[in-house]
A = this chain, B = another copy of it.
Amino acid sequence: MPLYMDIHRNMVGLTDEAVVAAHQKDLEVQHKYGVRYMSYWYDKELGKVFCLVDAPSKEAAAAVHREAHGNVADEIFEVKQGE
């Protein structure tokens, strides 16, 4: 399956609890779309979140975020992981 990195920008007022809760919701929903959210990194101060996700398509990755919590990424890139 393709691997994607998405970026959420301008997540104002981000807290650890909110990020963890949103990711948990992704994990609960993702099986419906054949998606696997693998890892994520976030910068609370600047309101950025990066998600690494294995998904059949960009649209499927986005559908999980949309259903889980509504925070769809601003950008998503199909990536290869470096060796």
Contact = CB atoms under 8 A, between A and B. Distances in A.
Interface string A59-83: 0000000000000000001111111
Contacts of A23: 82
Interface residues of A: mostly helix, strand, loop or mixed?
Answer: strand
B43 A78 contact: yes
> How many copies of the chain does the oligomer comprise?
2
**Interface magnitude class on chain A:** 20 to 34
A64 to B, nearest CB: 15
A77 B39 contact: no
A42 to B, nearest CB: 6
Interface of A: 3, 5, 7, 16, 19-20, 23, 39-46, 48, 50, 52, 77-83
